[in-house]
Chain A
Amino acid sequence: KNEVEQSPQNLTAQEGEFITINCSYSVGISALHWLQQHPGGGIVSLFMLSSGKKKHGRLIATINIQEKHSSLHITASHPRDSAVYICAATPNTGNQFYFGTGTSLTVIP
């Protein structure tokens, strides 16, 4: 059983649509991260959350600690948002990441 579960695995959206990616985790965590990976492999950290909600431009990340659930929302999606989005949890016991399987997002013009 994976410590972090993510859905959906694949997502295709029309430009301008509102997108939601979900993440649930089963371990005690000190932080929940949302990462973005473009073709070629480079990973960029989008958000680090331990509670509540964070917003950066068109991206919003929320976390519900009691329900062990986090969501990443993209408003007014754009083709340049096409990437793999990965949820990762930092457990209470260390600094490593437990990763979700990733969501491959394609935004069509």
Chain B
Amino acid sequence: EDQVTQSPEALRLQEGESSSLNCSYTVSGLRGLFWYRQDPGKGPEFLFTLYSAGEEKEKERLKATLTKKESFLHITAPKPEDSATYLCAVQAGSGYSTLTFGKGTMLLVSP
């Protein structure tokens, strides 16, 4: 059974204080690992897809990396508007493309 574990559950940062979120996964044949951002009361917003170990993707202050067992979402010099829940999900190579999500990391960036 595919499993995704995210840590920490919650993270509070000061504006400008860089940090990383972790996503550990167990999946039979990874087809893709996804990062989403979710604001309260809204649907998840797609950020990145990573396909293979060693791959990296960047968008503004966010950088996602992937190894064979985990992914990191690095946040450089965060701003208050980066406050949200960040969700990690995996898609197995077999099956019908459904996503298995972690519980998310709730990030709060204080000014």
A binds B: no
